[in-house]
Amino acid sequence: MEKHNISVGLDIGTTKIVAMIGRKNEYGKVEILGVGKSKSMGVHRGVVNNITQTIQSIQQAVQEAEAAASEKIEDVTVGIAGQHIRSLQHSDYITRVNSEVVIDEEDIDRLINQVHKLVMLPGEEIIHVLPQEFKIDGQAEIKEPIGMYGGRLEANFHVVVGQVSSIRNIGRCVKSSGLQLEGITLEPLASANAVLSREEKEAGVALIDIGGGTTDLAVFKDGIIRHTAVIPFGGNVITEDIKEGCSIIEKQAELLKMKFGSAWPGENKDNEIVSIPGLRGREPKEITLKNLSKIIHARVVEIIEQVYVEIKNYGHEEQKKKLIAGIVLTGGGSQLKHLKQLVEYITGMDTRIGYPNEHLAGDSDEDIASPLFATAVGLVMDGLKRQDRKNAEEVEELIAENSVQEEPVTEVPQKERRSFLDKLTERVKDFLDNAE
Looking at residues 4-19, what average pLDDT do you find? Answer: 90
pLDDT at 11 exceeding the cut of 90: yes
Of all residues in the chain, the percent with pLDDT exceeding 70 is 95
Instruction: Please give the backbone phi and psi of residue 232, each rounded to the nearest 5 degrees, phi first.
Output: -80, 40
Instruction: Please give the backbone phi and psi of residue 378, each rounded to the nearest 5 degrees, phi first.
Output: -60, -40
Q: What is the pLDDT of residues 181-225, one digit of tens each?
A: 988 888 988 999 999 999 999 999 999 999 999 999 999 999 888
- Please give the Cα distance from 223 to 205 (Å, whole number): 10
Kindly list the distances between the CA atom of residue 211 and the CA atoms of 17, 29, 108, 169, 202, in Å, as whole numbers in the listed order.
12, 26, 35, 20, 25
Q: What is the pLDDT of residues 378-397, one digit of tens each?
A: 999 999 998 888 888 888 88
Q: Are 379 and 189 in contact (CB under 8 A)?
A: no
Query: Does 309 or 4 have the greater pLDDT score?
Result: 309
What structural domains and CATH numbers belong to the chain?
235-299 (3.30.420.40)
Q: Are 66 and 60 in contact (CB under 8 A)?
A: no
**Please, which pLDDT band fits residue 409 given cuts at 50, 70 and 90?**
very low
Q: Are 217 and 327 in contact (CB under 8 A)?
A: no
pLDDT at residue 412, rounded to an integer:
44
Q: What is the pLDDT of residues 326-350, one digit of tens each?
A: 999 999 999 999 999 999 999 999 9
**Please, which pLDDT band fits residue 141 given cuts at 50, 70 and 90?**
confident
pLDDT at residue 174, rounded to an integer:
94
pLDDT at residue 361, rounded to an integer:
83
Kindly list the distances between the CA atom of residue 100 and the CA atoms of 97, 103, 104, 110, 139, in Å, as whole numbers in the listed order.
9, 9, 12, 18, 17
Q: Are 85 and 161 in contact (CB under 8 A)?
A: yes
Residue 239: how many other CB atoms lie within 10 Å: 24
- Please give the Cα distance from 433 to 195 (Å, whole number): 35
pLDDT at 402 exceeding the cut of 90: no
pLDDT at residue 175, rounded to an integer:
94
How far, rounded to the nearest angstrom, does the alpha carbon of residue 60 sit from its chain's CA centroid? 22
What mean pLDDT, rounded, does the chain reach?
A: 88
Q: What is the pLDDT of residues 235-288, one digit of tens each?
A: 999 999 999 998 899 999 999 999 999 999 877 777 889 998 888 888 888 999
Whole-model pTM: value is 0.87
pLDDT at residue 317, rounded to an integer:
85
AA identity, residue 374: A
pLDDT at residue 405, rounded to an integer:
53
pLDDT at 411 exceeding the cut of 70: no
- Please give the Cα distance from 252 to 160 (Å, whole number): 38
Instruction: Determine the 3-state secondary structure of 74 from DSSP.
Output: coil
Q: Is 436 exposed, middle or buried (0-12, 13-18, 19+ CB in 10 A)?
A: exposed
pLDDT at residue 26, rounded to an integer:
87
Instruction: Please give the backbone phi and psi of residue 41, each rounded to the nearest 5 degrees, phi first.
Output: -100, -35
Instruction: Report CA dihedral (69, 71, 76, 82) to the nearest 10 degrees.
Output: 30
pLDDT at 417 exceeding the cut of 70: no
Q: Are 30 and 361 in contact (CB under 8 A)?
A: yes
Q: How would you write 253-289 as a 3-class SS string?
A: HHHHHHHHCECCHHHCCCCCEEEECCCCCCCCEEEEH
Half-sphere exposure of 256 (CA within 13 A, CB side): 32
Instruction: Please name which of 266, 411, 291, 231 lies closest in space to residue 342, comparing C-alpha atoms.
Output: 266
Of all residues in the chain, the percent with pLDDT exceeding 90 is 54
Looking at residues 10-34, what average pLDDT do you find? Answer: 92
pLDDT at 66 exceeding the cut of 90: yes
Contact partners, residue 426, CB within 8 Å, separation at least 6: none
- Please give the Cα distance from 400 to 415 (Å, whole number): 14
- Please give the Cα distance from 182 to 135 (Å, whole number): 34
**Please, which pLDDT band fits residue 419 given cuts at 50, 70 and 90?**
low
Number of H helices, E strands in the chain: 11, 18
pLDDT at residue 236, rounded to an integer:
94
